[in-house]
Amino acid sequence: MTTVEAAPYTVEEVCERFDPVMGLEVHVELNTATKMFCGCRNEFGAEPNTNICPVCLGLPGALPRVNARAVESAVTIGLALNCSVRERSGFARKNYFYPDMPKNFQISQYEDPIVFDGYLDVPLDDGSTWRVEIERAHMEEDTGKSLHMGGATGRIHGADYSLLDYNRAGVPLIEIVTRPIVGAGTRAPEVARAYVSALRDVVKGLGVSDVRMDQGSMRCDANVSLMPKGSSTFGTRTETKNVNSLRSVERAVRYEMGRQAGVLLSGGTVRQETRHFDEQSGTTSPGRAKETLADYRYFPEPDLVPIEPSAEWVEGLRKELPERPWERRARIQSDWGLSDEELRDLVNADALDLVAATVDAGASSESARSWWVSYLAQQANTQGVALTELAITPEQVARVIALVSEGTLTNKLARQVVDGVLAGEGSPDDVVAGRGLAVVSDDSALTAAVDEALAAQPAVAEKIRAGKTKAAGAIVGAVMKATRGQADAARVNELVLERVGASS
Amino acid sequence: MSDITRSDVAHLARLARLAVTDDELDVFSGQLDAILDTVGRVSEIDDDVPPTSHVAPLTNVLRADEPEPSLDREAVLAGAPAAEEGRFRVPRILGEEP
C-alpha cells in the first residue's frame, strides 16, 4: 500500500520554527577498466552476467585483489575535496544478506577510510559560496542490479520473483560523506543541490568517473532532520535513498523538511527510517526502519592487507589536480572576454570543453566559439546528437579555421569541408583535396575568368571604367559563380579594377 | 563480564539467517558469554598497542587495472537453482535493500 503524505509546510514556514540539518552521502562509480577486486570489465550496458568471475560472485576460495587505479582515483577525489589522506587504511566487511550481493557481505571501509576531513566550497546561485565539510570518502564495491518480475509495476512490491545481473557487482565505488550541514535554513534545498552539482563537476573534471546521475554512476542519499529553532541538538533524521537527479535532490530535501515539520507540529515524532523519493509526485514514502550500525557486524577484511600511500605518491597526484571547474570557467571568461551570457550559452550548449580544445589546437576563441555554437550546433541539432557526439574533433575544427585564415578556404567553402568531415570523408585536408574545394588563388586562372565576365557584360565594364567601382560587384558575382564559389571575392574585386584600368 | 541474553542470540541468529530453537538460545547465550569473557581479556592490554588485523607484514598489495577473462555465462548460470533471460532468478524479495 502506498499512501502519499502531504508536505503541509513550505520551507519558509518550516524555518520559522525549525533549523534543518542535512547530511549528504554521494556514491560515485569509478570509470576504471576493471572492477574493484577482480579483473572483470567495468562497463555500463554489457549483456547481463557476462562480466562475472569467482571473486565478484563470491565463490568459495576466491580471493579479492585491489585495483591500483581505483585507489589512485579515490585519493585523487579526496585531494580535490581538500581531504587528508590516511597513512594506513584498511578494508572491512559489511555483513548483510541481500540477493544483489552474492558474497553476503560488501567489502567497504569502516574505521579508517582512505581520505577524511575535507571540504568543498560550493558556488550558490547568487554568486556566494557555501562551505560543505567532508567527513570522509571511502572505497567500496557496487552491488548487482535486480529486475522485479510479475506484478503490475516492475517494483519490488507485488513482484513474483526477481532476476539478478551481477555485472555491476564489484564495480569500484567511492562514497563521499559530508559532515552535518547546519545553518542553511530556507536555503537548505538549494545548498543540497548546489553541493551535488559542484561535486559532480569536480569529479568529472578529474576524469575518474562519468558521474552520470541518469545512468546511476552518481547517486545521492539525503539525510534530513529538523531541530527547534535555537536548539543545537539534532532531531531524528530520515535518509531518502537514491535521489537521482540534481532537481530531485532539491525537491527531496524540501519535501522532507515540510513533511517532518508537519509530523512534529502535530505532536508526533519523526521515525528514523529510510525513505524513497518518487520522481513523479516529488514526495518521499517510508521504507524500512534503519538497521543500526552494529547489525552490519563490520570487521577487518581478512583477505586484504592495508593500503599505505607514500607521501611522494600523494604529492605527485596533488600536483596533477586540474583547476576547479568554476575557477576554470572564470579564467576562460576573462581570457576570451566573454559576457556572463556568452559564457552561460557555451556551458549550456555543452560547448565549453570543445571550444577550449579548439583554442588549444591553435584557433582564436572567437572563431572557435562561432563554429561550435552556430554551424556545428545546427548540424548536431539536425542529426539529433549531442554536440560532443558530432563526428568532428576540436583539432579538425581548428584546422578548418586555419585554412580559412590562411586564405585557402572561404567561410562558405569551410562549411562544405566541415560537412565532408561529418560525412566521414576524412580530415579537413582530405575533404579539400577530395572535393576540390580550395580557393582558386591562381591569378592567371582568375584573370581569365574576370576577362571573360567583363567581355560578357561590356556595359558594366564601361561603368567601372568611368569610376563607378561599386558596379564591379556584378562582375565579381559572375566570377564567383564561374569558379563555384572557390575564389577569394576580395582578390577578384582587385583584379576586376586592375583589368578595366580603374584604380580603387 | 559480558552478558549475552537470549534476545541477543535471537537477534544475531536472525542477522545470520540461522534457525535457532528455544533450547539453543539458552545453550548459545551461555557459551557466547564464556567466549566473550575469554576474548575480553585482550582489552586488559595497554591502549597504545595498535590492533592487529593481519599477521603478515604486507601493505599495498595491488593489481594493475587490466581486464582479465570473465567466466562463461551459461556455465555459471548452470550452477544456479534457476535462471532466466541470462540472469539469476531468485524468489520474491520481501525486504528492501539495507
| pLDDT given for residue B96 in this prediction | 60
Q: What is the mean pLDDT of chain A?
A: 90
Rounded average pLDDT over A177-191: 97
Q: For chain B, list the domains and their CATH numbers.
A: 6-44 (1.10.20)
Residues of A in contact with B53 (CB under 8 A): 90, 300, 302, 306
- Distance of alpha carbon A57 from alpha carbon A144, whole angstroms: 10
**Whether residue A2 has pLDDT greater than 60:** no
- Distance of alpha carbon A223 from alpha carbon A99, whole angstroms: 25
- Distance of alpha carbon A325 from alpha carbon B51, whole angstroms: 42
| pLDDT given for residue B97 in this prediction | 59
Determine whether the interchain pair A53/B60 forms a contact, defined as Cβ–Cβ distance below 8 Å. no
Question: Tens digits of per-residue pLDDT, A206-240?
Answer: 999 999 998 899 999 999 999 999 899 999 999 99
Residues of B in contact with A90 (CB under 8 A): 53
First-residue to last-residue Cα distance in chain A: 86
Identify which of B70, B89, B97 has the shortest CB distance to residue A53: B70
Residues of B in contact with A306 (CB under 8 A): 53-54, 59
A212 CB-side CA count, 13 A: 6
Residues 6+ apart with CB under 8 A from A166: A49, A52, A56, A57, A102, A144, B88
* Number of Cβ atoms within 10 Å of the Cβ of A233: 6
- ipTM reported for the complex, 2 dp: 0.88
A459 alpha-carbon distance from chain centroid: 63
**DSSP H or E segment with residue B84:** strand B83-84
- Distance of alpha carbon A114 from alpha carbon A91, whole angstroms: 9
Q: pTM for this structure?
A: 0.77
- Distance of alpha carbon A327 from alpha carbon A311, whole angstroms: 27
Q: Helix (H, G, I), strand (E, B), or coil: what is residue A266? A: coil
- Partners of A284 in beta bridges: A277
Sketch the domain layout of chain A as residue ranges.
11-291, 323-435, 443-500
Residues of A in contact with B93 (CB under 8 A): 98-99, 146, 148, 156, 159, 162
Rounded average pLDDT over A46-53: 97
The secondary structure of A100-121 as a DSSP string is T-TTSEEEE--SS-SEEEEEEE
- Which triple of cell numbers denotes residue A484? 563555384
Q: Is B48 on the interface with A (CB under 8 A)?
A: no
| pLDDT given for residue A462 in this prediction | 84
Rounded to the nearest 10 degrees, the angle between the axes of helix A352-360 and helix A394-405 is 60
First-residue to last-residue Cα distance in chain B: 32
pLDDT band at A468 (very low <50, low <70, confident <90, very high): confident
**Whether residue B1 has pLDDT greater than 50:** no
Question: Tens digits of per-residue pLDDT, B43-95?
Answer: 888 888 887 888 888 999 999 999 999 999 999 999 999 999 999 999 887 66
Determine whether the interchain pair B96/A34 forms a contact, defined as Cβ–Cβ distance below 8 Å. no
| pLDDT given for residue A127 in this prediction | 83
Using the CB atoms, write b or e for A370-409: b if 16+ within 10 Å.
Answer: bbbbebbbebbeeeeeebeebebebebbbbbbbbbeeebb
Determine whether the interchain pair A68/B65 forms a contact, defined as Cβ–Cβ distance below 8 Å. yes
Min distance A66 CA to chain B CA atoms (Å): 5
Question: Tens digits of per-residue pLDDT, A113-166?
Answer: 999 999 999 999 888 999 999 999 999 999 999 998 887 666 666 788 999 999
Count contacts between A and B (CB, < 8 Å): 136
A473 to A450, A467, A484, A493: CA distances (angstroms):
12, 13, 16, 7
- Which triple of cell numbers denotes residue B56? 603478515
Min distance A274 CA to chain B CA atoms (Å): 9
CB contact at 8 A, B62 and A43:
no
Determine whether the interchain pair A33/B98 forms a contact, defined as Cβ–Cβ distance below 8 Å. no
Question: Tens digits of per-residue pLDDT, A62-81?
Answer: 999 999 999 999 999 999 99
A147 CB-side CA count, 13 A: 13
Percent of chain A with pLDDT over 70: 95
More confident of the two residues A217 and A439:
A217
Rounded average pLDDT over A21-36: 98
- Distance of alpha carbon B67 from alpha carbon A95, whole angstroms: 28
Min distance A254 CA to chain B CA atoms (Å): 24
**Whether residue A43 has pLDDT greater than 90:** yes
| pLDDT given for residue A1 in this prediction | 39
**Whether residue A3 has pLDDT greater than 50:** no
| pLDDT given for residue A441 in this prediction | 67
- Partners of A147 in beta bridges: A163
Write down how long chain A is: 504
Determine whether the interchain pair A98/B98 forms a contact, defined as Cβ–Cβ distance below 8 Å. yes
**Whether residue A316 has pLDDT greater than 80:** yes
Min distance A48 CA to chain B CA atoms (Å): 6
Burial of A504 (0-12, 13-18, 19+ CB in 10 A): exposed
**Whether residue A7 has pLDDT greater than 80:** no
**Whether residue A504 has pLDDT greater than 50:** no
| pLDDT given for residue A256 in this prediction | 96
| pLDDT given for residue A471 in this prediction | 84
Determine whether the interchain pair A49/B87 forms a contact, defined as Cβ–Cβ distance below 8 Å. yes
The secondary structure of B15-80 as a DSSP string is HTT----HHHHHHHHHHHHHHHHHHHGGGGS-TTSPP-S-SS-----EE-S-------HHHHHHTS
CATH class for domain A443-500? mainly alpha
| pLDDT given for residue A372 in this prediction | 94
Determine whether the interchain pair A39/B68 forms a contact, defined as Cβ–Cβ distance below 8 Å. yes
- Which triple of cell numbers denotes residue A361? 589546437
Interface residue of A305, A308, A313, A314 to substitute, partner B, most B CBs within 10 Å? A305
CB contact at 8 A, A211 and A218:
yes
